[in-house]
Amino acid sequence: MTQRLLLATRSGHKLGELRALLDLGPDVELLSPDDAGVRGDPVEDSETFEGNALIKARYFAERAELPVIADDSGLEVDALRGGPGVRTRRYAGEDASDSDNNAKLLRALTGLPPPGRTARYRCVLVYLERPESEPLITSGTFEGRIALAPRGHGGFGYDPIFEPATEPPGGRTVGELSAEEKNSVSHRAIAARAMGELLRGRS
């Protein structure tokens, strides 16, 4: 019997990555909020990724009456004391584009050499069987640095200005990696693999 599971995000990019990364077997159908007929979105007002992922998971679990996996993720730049953090998507304003956010971040780091541009992507995934259930929580980080200028057109968000720590300064950004390369090392990949192991262990 096929089990239906809701991915609690309206981001097409995140939906695509989670569908590629969550190895839950052929008997699990991964749905978007639109697939499940759920309208609206919660107010994400926590100061932590875990808190916002829990808010999303409970909101969608209550409305869809399905098990839910929620994602909250973002970029932490050491020179900005962990910013933009939970405001990653809205760094340059509520309706800012990826290009707007990237440009603001590059301006904020003007003059800093590569050793001072260390950063990481962080992802937290929360699984809820029901709204009142005890959550399962996994997380992943992807270490790197902010490039001096955008390069590459792959990925989304800050990918064109994020150099993995495995690359030398001036090396490839995540925007220059293939989807397969990114999905083998990213913060979301690490969190999704851990979540898959937890859920398969429950079945």
* Cα–Cα dist 165/45, whole Å: 31
Q: Domains, the chain, ranges and CATH? A: 3-202 (3.90.950.10)
35 catalytic residue (yes or no): no
pLDDT above 80 (res 48): yes
* DSSP state at residue 2: P
| Better pLDDT: 161 or 202 | 161
Q: Could you tell me the pLDDT band of residue 44, with boundaries at 50, 70 and 90?
A: very high
For 124-151, the pLDDT digits (tens) are: 999 999 999 999 999 999 999 999 999 9
Opening angle at CA 82, ends 142 and 196, nearest 5: 35
**pLDDT in the model for residue 203:** 63
**pLDDT in the model for residue 23:** 86
For 60-117, the pLDDT digits (tens) are: 999 999 999 999 999 999 999 999 999 999 999 999 999 999 999 999 999 999 999 9
Whether pTM > 0.75 for this model: the answer is yes
CB atoms within 10 A of CB 27: 9
CA distances from 201 to 31, 67, 142, 195, 196 (A): 21, 16, 25, 10, 8
**pLDDT in the model for residue 202:** 77
CA distances from 200 to 13, 72, 127 (A): 24, 22, 13
Q: Which of 34, 35, 72, 95 is catalytic?
A: 72
